[in-house]
Amino acid sequence: MATIKDIAREAQVSISTVSFAINGTGPVAPETKKRIMEVIERLNYHPSSSARGLVTRQSGNICLYVPHPKSNIFTFHDNNLINDMLQGIGESIDEKNYNLLLAWEQNEDDDDASKMMSLVHTRAVDGILFFNPTRNYKPIYELIKLKFPFVFMGSFFDNEPIDTVDIDNFEAGYRNTAHLIKLGHRKIGFVSPGPLHYLLADDRFEGYKEALKDNNIRYNDHYFHIGDNRETSGVEALDRFLSLKDPPTAIVAGRDIQAVGIKKRAMACSLIVPGDIAIVSFENSQLAENHDISSIRTDLFSIGREASKLLFKMIGRKKERQTQHIIIPAELVVRGSCGGKQETSVEE
């Protein structure tokens, strides 16, 4: 197996020059770099990542970090969604010749992130992508203090110096609700995708309430239900709504799996969808297409790709920079579950 010494001898340069050419850590004349790369290819040399890290002080790894993975909000029944996100991340890290580590934090304590901080302090990773933690996730502030590169795939407090990439979940919640209002509905239920201390759930719920307010519709707490990742949570929501003296005529489901449960239960109760109960949802997964459910497309591929690209801009950067918030456009795909015409994209 060829070594860096072999490359230096064949290219007739010093070992440090070979290192500079490989890692981009020092000036190397173009013709010299070309000669070195030709030797590397001819000898099939593969630099050790640990040795490269000693020179660059970089691990060559980034981490996709998921706090509280046991929570229902992180379970996708349509594997294409999570695959899309990983594909988007993979497209970016492949260009940088980086590796992706996946870390799960099993505890529910927002003050504890021992696994994450171990990765940071041991320099096992050069940056972290967070997948939608809670709004109370306090260990984030330790990373800010350390000036360690990280990006949220999700929203956070606007006044915090945190880079984010996401769809506008507030606007998406608003858009789904406004679509139902335009169709003549005044009694609209909302099934949250999870507990409201999760950013995604809270933003969509706030968008729902704002749309009601803007159309002079009073919010009814009886029309709110906290769901999860199970089809049965949609069933439970509809059963609760139908038990009311004045049930809603339309429902904004927090996720497609809930919408499926709502539609199946409605049909079992001899209700007509969308005549008796209209439904809109989020994710636009294969489930939504299979069950003819109107749903907002959440482009996880673009979220993963743009978050990774933003993270790489931060890695190794020593100068102060302005925090960035990237919004990925989202589209309401209208199908038979609500009626009406196709909506335009949700813009930044």
pLDDT at position 124 is 80
Range(s) for CATH 1.10.260.40 in the chain?
A: 4-56
Per-residue pLDDT of the chain (348 residues; tens, 9 = 90+): 678 888 889 999 988 888 778 766 567 888 998 998 899 888 888 765 555 554 556 678 888 887 665 554 445 445 566 788 889 999 888 888 888 888 776 655 555 566 777 778 777 888 999 886 666 667 778 888 888 899 988 776 666 788 889 999 999 999 999 999 999 999 999 999 988 888 888 999 999 999 999 999 999 999 999 998 889 999 999 999 999 999 999 999 999 999 999 999 999 999 999 999 999 999 998 899 999 999 999 888 999 999 999 999 888 676 777 888 899 998 999 999 997 665 544 444
Q: Tell me, what amino acid is at 139?
A: P
pLDDT at position 344 is 46
pLDDT at position 6 is 86
pLDDT at position 154 is 78
Distances (CA, A) of 332 to 76, 252, 283, 335: 20, 12, 10, 9
pLDDT at position 346 is 47
pLDDT at position 61 is 86
pLDDT at position 244 is 96
The sign one gets for the Cα dihedral 151, 156, 158, 160 is negative
Q: Is 303 exposed, middle or buried (0-12, 13-18, 19+ CB in 10 A)?
A: buried
| Backbone phi and psi for residue 220, each to the nearest 5 degrees, phi listed first | -115, 115
- Look up the CATH superfamily of 169-297+332-346: Response regulator (3.40.50.2300)
Q: How far apart are CA 23 and CA 333, in angstroms?
A: 46
Q: How far apart are CA 122 and CA 118, in angstroms?
A: 6
Are 294 and 338 in contact by the 8 Å Cβ rule? The answer is yes
pLDDT at position 79 is 54
pLDDT at position 250 is 97
Question: Among the CATH numbers 3.30.470.10, 3.30.230.10, 3.40.1190.10, 1.10.260.40, which is that of 4-56?
Answer: 1.10.260.40
Range(s) for CATH 3.40.50.2300 in the chain?
A: 61-167+300-317, 169-297+332-346
pLDDT at position 54 is 45
Question: Is the CATH code 1.20.1600.10 the one for domain 61-167+300-317?
Answer: no
pLDDT at position 12 is 92
